[in-house]
Homo-oligomer: A and B are copies of this chain.
Amino acid sequence: MNGRCVITVGDLGEFGVVARIAERLPQGGTVLLGPGDDAAMVRSPDGRVVVTTDLLIEGRHFRRDWSSGYDIGRKAAAQNLSDIVAMGADPTGIVVGLGLPADAATGWLDDLTDGFRDECDLVGASVVGGDVTRCDLVVLGVTALGDLGGRAPVTRSGARPGDVVAVTGRLGHAAAGLALLAAGEKGPAELLDAHRRPAPPYACGPRAAALGATSMLDVSDGLLQDLGHVAEASEVGIVLLPEAFVISESLEEAAGRLGVDPLGWILSGGDDHALAATFPQSVRLPQEWTVVGRAEAGKGVQVNGRSMAYEGWDHFRE
C-alpha cells in the first residue's frame, strides 16, 4: 500500500480499540452515562423503554468490497433506529457489539464509527456503549433504545377492516441496487447507494403514532412479507393496489438493464427501511404517506385479486 504501514486493530489491542472508538463518539442530551463503565445509562422519561436488536454478519448483510466502513455503520444503525421509530418512539441511544478481524485497518474502524455516529445524529441519539472482540468476520450486534413520550406503542396487531394501508420512504431501491451490484453494473448510482445506505423516514414514525396509526412496521424483509405479518397479527386481509406505487426513473432504468419487472423489487425487496402503516379512513394523511391499499375482513395479502405468497427474505433459506 504505497509502502506505508497500515495500523490495524490488532496493533491497538482491545482497550486501544475501545478508547479509539469512544473518543469519536460525542454523547448527546439523552445520555446520562456514556462509554467506559460496565453499563451505560440513558434517559427514559416515559417510564417505558423500547428496545430492538439486530445481528449483522459480513458476507450475509454487507460486503466490505461493496460498502465502505462508513456505509456499513450508517446501515447497521439505520436498520435498528428504523425499528424504534416504527413503534412510534424516538430513538435515544444504541449500543454496538463489534467483532473485528485483527487485520482490520484502524482507518476502516474510524469510518465505521463515524457512520454509526452520523446516522444516530440524524435522530438525536448517541452510541452510548459497546463491546469489542476479535472475530474472523466483521460482526455487528446492534441494539437501539427509544422513548415513547407518553404515546401508545404502534404494534403490528392494531389494523382494522376499513383502514387504509400507506407507505413512506423508498421501496425496492436497495434490492435493485443489490441486484445491480451482483450483476457487476456500475449504476444507476442512486440505487447502488440505496443498497449501501438506507434513508429511513425517521420523523414519520412518531408523527404517524400521533396521527393515530393503528399498526406500523419497518419494511425490512419486503413489503408483501412484512404486511403479511400485519395481516396475521391484526387478523385482517390486506389488498394492495399495484398501480398506486410510484416507480422511479432509476428503478425503470435498472429493471430495463436487468430485464425484470420493477414492481417485484417494490413488493418483495428488503433493506430500504420504509415504513408501512394502517390508518383509519378518517385520518387526513400528510403528503409524506402514499396510500397503497386497504385492510378488510379476511386474511393474507392480495395483489390484483391474487393471494401472494410472502416473498421475502429468510436468512436460513437464502
Q: A42-B49, A47-B43, A51-B42 are in contact. Are A14 and B141 (CB under 8 A)?
A: no
C-alpha gap A168/B117 in the complex (Å): 37
**Interface size bracket, A side:** 35 or more
Q: A32-B48, A37-B156, A50-B40 are in contact. Are A55 and B87 (CB under 8 A)?
A: no
Which chain B positions have C-beta within 8 A of A10?
316-317
Which chain B positions have C-beta within 8 A of A314?
13-15
Asked if A21 is at the interface (CB within 8 A of a chain B CB), the reply is no
C-alpha gap A61/B97 in the complex (Å): 14
Q: Which of A21-78 contact B (CB under 8 A)?
A: 32-33, 36-57, 60-61
Closest Cβ of chain B to A165, distance in Å, is: 17
C-alpha gap A146/B56 in the complex (Å): 25
Asked if A129 is at the interface (CB within 8 A of a chain B CB), the reply is yes
Q: A14-B317, A48-B44 are in contact. Are A97 and B54 (CB under 8 A)?
A: yes
Task: For A51, give its contact among B39, B100, B141 (CB under 8 Å).
Answer: B39
Which chain B positions have C-beta within 8 A of A162?
none
Asked if A213 is at the interface (CB within 8 A of a chain B CB), the reply is no
C-alpha gap A47/B315 in the complex (Å): 37
C-alpha gap A300/B222 in the complex (Å): 54
What are the nearest 7 A-B pairs in CB distance? A141-B141, A55-B97, A39-B52, A143-B143, A44-B44, A53-B95, A38-B83
Mark A residues whose CB is within 8 Å of B. 9-10, 12-15, 17, 32-33, 36-57, 60-61, 83-84, 86-87, 89, 93, 95-100, 102, 128-135, 139, 141-146, 148, 153, 155-156, 216-218, 233, 314-317
21 residue pairs of the A-B complex, CB under 8 angstroms, read A9-B316, A17-B316, A38-B84, A38-B86, A38-B217, A39-B51, A40-B51, A41-B148, A42-B51, A51-B95, A51-B129, A52-B129, A53-B97, A53-B129, A53-B141, A53-B143, A55-B98, A55-B135, A60-B133, A135-B139, A141-B143
Give 14 new A-B contacts, CB below 8 A, not counting A38-B217, A41-B51.
A13-B317, A38-B52, A38-B84, A39-B83, A40-B51, A43-B48, A52-B95, A53-B95, A53-B96, A53-B129, A53-B141, A133-B315, A134-B315, A141-B141
